[in-house]
Amino acid sequence: MDYKQEPLTPAVFYILLALSVKERHGYDIMKQVEADSHGNVKMGPGTLYGSIKRMLEAGLITEVNDLEDSRRKFYRLTKKGQKHLSAEIKRYSEVVNLAKNRKLLGIGNLDFGV
């Protein structure tokens, strides 16, 4: 049975990717998103914490208490978040395969006649 869901926003997708490796605090998530996107995505605090709030409410992530640093809030991916991330990666993979089959990868300037 396929796991169906609405596509994730780029912000949510990158946050879930960042949390798939380890628990992180907000600033660390922002830095990891920038690294994962090779500098193409720079997430500001408003986008980050707005997304985190919605993700907490949706049960995709959970807040973790850090005994060593009580000033920072750390976040962890939940099982539901892992399922959503896996489904989104599968969706991206299918799009990449479609582009490969249509021989669109590696084409510099695509002209779609627009």
What pLDDT is attached to residue 109? 58
What pLDDT is attached to residue 69? 72
Pair of tokens at residue 18: 């960042």
Q: Which domains does the chain have, with CATH numbers?
A: 10-101 (1.10.10.10)
Instruction: Provide the percentage of residues in the chain whose pLDDT is more than 90.
Output: 69
What pLDDT is attached to residue 103? 85
Q: What is the spatial distance between Cα 47 and Cα 56, in angstroms, rounded to a whole number?
A: 14
What is the 8-class DSSP label of residue 64? E
Q: What is the spatial distance between Cα 60 and Cα 54, in angstroms, rounded to a whole number?
A: 9
The residue ranges of the chain whose pLDDT is under 70 are: 1-4, 107-114
Contact 32, 41 (CB under 8 A): no
Pair of tokens at residue 50: 């707005």
Contact 73, 26 (CB under 8 A): yes
